[in-house]
A and B are shown apart, each in its own frame.
Chain A
Amino acid sequence: MLKNYFKTAWRSIVRNKAFSLINIIGLSIGIAASLLLFIVVQYELSYDTFQPNYNRIYRVATQDKFDKDITYNSGIPVPALKALRAEFPQIQFGALQSAYGSQVTVPADKNETGNKFIEETGVFFIEPQLFDVFKYQWLTGSPASLKDPNNVVLDEKTATKYFGTWQQAIGKTVVLDNAITLKVNGILKNTPANSDLPLSVIISYVTLEKCGQSYNHFDTWNTTSSNFNIMALLPPAVKMDDVDRGLLQFSKNHYQPLQSNSIKTNFLQPLSTFHFDRRFASFGDHVTSKSTLLTLSLIGIFIILMACVNFINLATALSVNRSKEVGIRKVLGSNRSQLFGQIMSETAVIVGISILAALGITWAVLPYIKHIASIQEQLSLFTIQNLIMVVSIGIIVTLLAGLYPSLVLSKYNPITALKNKMVTAGVSGVSLRRGLVIMQFTISQVLIIATTVAISQMNFISKAELGFNKEGVLILNGKSDSISLSKQSAFKQQLLQIPGVQSVSFNNDPPSSDNLWSTNFAYNHQPDEKFQISLKFTDADYLKTFGLQLLTGRSPVESDTMREVMINETLVKKLGIKNPNEVIGKVIRIGRNQWYPVVGVVKDFKTSSLREDIKPTLITTRKTFYYCTGIKIRTQQLANTQLAIQKVWNQFYPEYAYSSQFFDENIERFYQQEEQLSLLYKIFAGLAIFISCLGLYGLVSFMAVQKTKEVGIRKVLGASIISLLQLFSKEFTILIIVSFFISVPVAWYMMHSWLNNFVYRIPLSSWFFITAIVSSIAIAWITVGYKAIKAAIANPVKALRSE
């Protein structure tokens, strides 16, 4: 019986080639698109799950409650480590201090300065106890390798990169940031890519005792840095809420005496949220919000649904042609369930072919997945999870697409069916078809609106007035050790000799970045203000190099230490002062330092991404913090100028690797996820429209055949071609208009929430919605047009004879 089902199914597919092709193309694209999205979502959800104690690992994070807002920090003051161990003896704690952006030098005989490697991520000072919390596989050595100072453990790929093979690395020395000599005495297996704590260079934590200051590791309750984290492994019986209650008391005991302007509280952040909580800094390559994953999953489901809709619509429309076959089978003794089984098997054959095609498409597209998702790892299509997913998709799609047509066809009365009197699948069939077309166009229009809004917002961001000049500024990452600092002045002079260089500024941070150095402060001999200010340490050429504009006063004079300060417009406003001139000559104290005079007010510039408000900012001088060199260069002869800059760098700092980025590229990176989402909307809106049009084309083709006689009669009676085109397009136009009214509130809500992520955003104007309806109708007319025109201009005599 089954063989017969599949045989008939296959022949029916071959016979209705055009419709089968429409179904297979739609389904395979739909399944491939969804499969890709599900692979991405599944990968993102898999972060850190390989940790055996995944559900018991937490980070002790910090919350600062100010008068008006709350800030979160993944870090904690350094002394908390000892206190936590004393007060929570039942919990295992392990600490780590990140040192990313470090340079590791591997001494080499031939090369005097050794081989230099800049490690942007993966460099940590780690306690051996951390390995009680997080489990990593050791190729050689053990956590005890990190007991003594100046020991380092490398991961396999880093060891191979430094020494050729990991075996050769053992016992060798490397130098961290040209200052700390470390001996390699352990090798870890590479951390899986889906980890939020990827380790490459692991230095023993006790090494920090001598060099902590260079890594902002201050043993004081007053400083909280996101670079210092304490991880905790809770015993199975201990609940997070109980520990959080204990931490509340712990916070009161340790932070209240500090009399800070905020209420500081420690609490546990579960490992399962590390990858999804954008409030906290991540040591991994990216953080993905759960709402993004939900959006991706929904798009995946919608695309599959749209393909199923095509199948249902075409199958029920075609059922008219199949009534004879159903009638014969019934007469010959087939019962309803057998017919149901037969039609379901036909669906299964089409879905099966589509799945094979979808697997091919997915396999071809998977290597490019990194453009729409932050996945650098080469993902494999043929895994058990994906196999289960494909089979599940197959079953669900077969049921979704096949159920209704099977029920409709198997219900036919054999006599009516044999007489081919099944004009349509019944009134309910037509209404269902309309309903499904409405659903398809609703999804398409929501995606069109989402796409246009996302593109416009990203355009707005790229063209937004930032308050500084981001073009043509090269950022060099330098060091602020005493030797390097002593060469800075000569280095600057030499750079300025290069014809393409316009100006050079040493600073700790460019005007806009995702770094945050903030502190409490007091103004004009008042008590501490109830909000924090962000700090930037720069030389006098900062404004010139980055194109910042002075509102009043002047820049602080050149000095190695803090002497004068300049503040931004936002800080003036937050202090409740209307006239910026009023602050000139007043004094400001940051932290517990002395009072410094305000000498200038700088016009507001965007201090971080446009998602956030401009931060109240103070700009001052302090040479020891000048890690960064900003170089404004002329855009002509860019390559030559860059080469010349590198040459000067190598001449002055042969012991440091040269590393540069353009400032505008750094800014673009702020919006990487938004750019990806915007690209994703573009792709999937395109696919959604394509699938809808495919279905529409199928339906119109069917309609053209059904209406051959009607068109013939109308033509004989004098109908114009235009009126005949209306005959075909009127219904679809009405359906699109109905779906527009459904899509408007959905899209409005969705994009309103998305735009709320940005402080600086475009208004959700009616043009986005008008574009969606106009383009949908236009695309639908073009789709319908070809078939409709063909039917309308056909010779009416032929049409009538065909009856």
Chain B
Amino acid sequence: MIKIRNLEKIYRTEEVETVALNKISIDVKEGEFVAIMGPSGCGKSTLLNILGLLDDPDNGSFLFNNIEVANFNERKRADLRKHNIGFVFQSFNLIDELTVFENVELPLIYTGVKSGDRKKRVEEVLDKMQIMHRRNHYPQQLSGGQQQRVAVARAVVNNPKLILADEPTGNLDSSNGNEVMTLLTDLNEQGTTIIMVTHSEHDARYSHRIIRMLDGQTVLENIMV
């Protein structure tokens, strides 16, 4: 599903040049659950941003479902993103002005799903995430665990092929964290590819494979048994 080769991302200011990704090459197969780990500043988030088509690399190749997307413009990236990729963030990133239902509905609006279908699909996914009873609440009225469940619901509502999770349990206590990890595992079992950046060895153990990074490069890969 994902094949990156010699990918480079360099941040330049007038005086300093920081290599965020240094000719990194990774493959992710469809249906895999991959965890990316490493110390702060090793390039995990940069890699996730590029994989999520939020940022573009300076050099190298990025094949997404065998299509070269490294040089896509913003409009093409947005188009590919909204149909194929779901995101889960550490800080949930829900829109405060929208209710639970409306937050989850948002990706469907952007992909042009009709109102009746949207309602059905949002209700289905809220039900699945067991937050249907909170559908009319605003994010500020929910606990952290509930907010992250909404974020997961929003990530999956479009049935994406790939979910990118950036420290999804970082802001949660262990019990809520476990719940979220279980949700992700369930999704993966149903066929969704998941790439997760984490600092937590505990969370990483839910994945099939751990890629460890340092200074913009992969240094180790652990296959989980």
Contact = CB atoms under 8 A, between A and B. Distances in A.
Interface string B96-125: 111000100011011100000000000000
A148 B56 CA distance: 95
A329 B94 CA distance: 10
A12 B89 CA distance: 23
A334 B154 CA distance: 14
Contacts of B74: 335-336
Interface in B43-79: 49, 52, 54-55, 74-75, 78-79
A677 interface: no
A490 interface: no
A327 B109 CA distance: 16
Given A8-B98, A11-B98, A415-B55, A333 B93 contact: no
Interface string A324-349: 11011111111110100000000000
B109 A1 contact: yes
Contacts of A331: 52, 54, 81, 87, 93
Contact of A328 (B75, B82, B95): B95
A418 interface: yes
6 contacts: A1-B109, A329-B95, A329-B106, A332-B82, A332-B106, A332-B154
A7 interface: yes
Given A330-B78, A335-B74, A414-B54, 4 more contacts: A8-B95, A328-B95, A333-B81, A333-B83
A15 interface: yes
A604 to B, nearest CB: 74
Interface size grouping (class) on chain A? 20 to 34
Contacts of B98: 7-8, 11
Interface in A1-56: 1, 4, 7-8, 11-12, 15
B97 A335 contact: no
Interface in A300-327: 324-325, 327
A332 B97 contact: no
Interface of A: 1, 4, 7-8, 11-12, 15, 324-325, 327-336, 338, 414-415, 418
A334 B93 CA distance: 15
A11 B79 CA distance: 27
Kindly state the interface size class of chain B when it binds its partner: 20 to 34
A4 B110 CA distance: 11
Contacts of A415: 49, 54-55
A4 B115 CA distance: 11
Nearest to B138: A11
A22 B68 CA distance: 49
Nearest to A331: B87
Nearest to B81: A333
Contact of B110 (A8, A336, A338, A418): A338
Contacts of A333: 78-79, 81-83, 107, 110-111
Contacts of A338: 110
Secondary structure at chain A's binding surface: helix, strand, loop or mixed? helix
A11 B82 CA distance: 25
B52 A4 contact: no
B93 A324 contact: yes
A335 B93 contact: no
A15 B49 contact: no
B93 A328 contact: yes
Nearest to B89: A418
Interface in B30-49: 49
Contact of B102 (A7, A328, A335): A7
Nearest to A7: B102
Contacts of A325: 95-97
B89 to A, nearest CB: 7
Contacts of A328: 93-95
A577 B74 CA distance: 88
Q: Which of A331, A414, A415, A418 has the most CB of B within 10 A?
A: A331
A12 B106 CA distance: 16
Contacts of B89: 418
A7 B106 CA distance: 12
A327 B54 CA distance: 10
Contacts of A329: 95, 106, 110
Nearest to A420: B91
A81 B54 CA distance: 85
A595 B30 CA distance: 121
A324 B54 CA distance: 14
Nearest to B87: A331
B81 A8 contact: no
Contacts of A332: 82, 87, 106-107, 110, 154
B108 to A, nearest CB: 10
Nearest to B158: A333
B114 to A, nearest CB: 11
A356 B81 CA distance: 41
A394 to B, nearest CB: 24
B102 to A, nearest CB: 7
A8 B82 CA distance: 20
A277 to B, nearest CB: 58
A8 B94 CA distance: 13
Interface in B9-31: none
Nearest to B49: A415
A327 B93 contact: yes
Contact of A15 (B54, B78, B97, B154): B97
Nearest to A15: B97
Given A7-B102, A329-B106, A334 B96 contact: no
Contacts of B110: 329, 332-334, 338
Contacts of B49: 415
B107 to A, nearest CB: 5
Among A1, A330, A332: residue with most chain B CB under 10 A: A332
Contacts of A8: 95, 97-98
Closest 7 CB pairs of A and B: A333-B82, A11-B97, A333-B110, A335-B78, A332-B107, A328-B93, A325-B95
Contacts of B94: 328
A336 B93 CA distance: 19
B13 to A, nearest CB: 14
A349 to B, nearest CB: 13
Chain B CB within 10 Å — which of A1, A327, A338, A415 has the most?
Answer: A415
A357 B200 CA distance: 55
A173 B89 CA distance: 94
Nearest to A5: B109
B48 to A, nearest CB: 10
Contact of A335 (B55, B75, B96): B75
A8 B97 CA distance: 6
B162 to A, nearest CB: 13
A417 to B, nearest CB: 10
Nearest to B106: A332
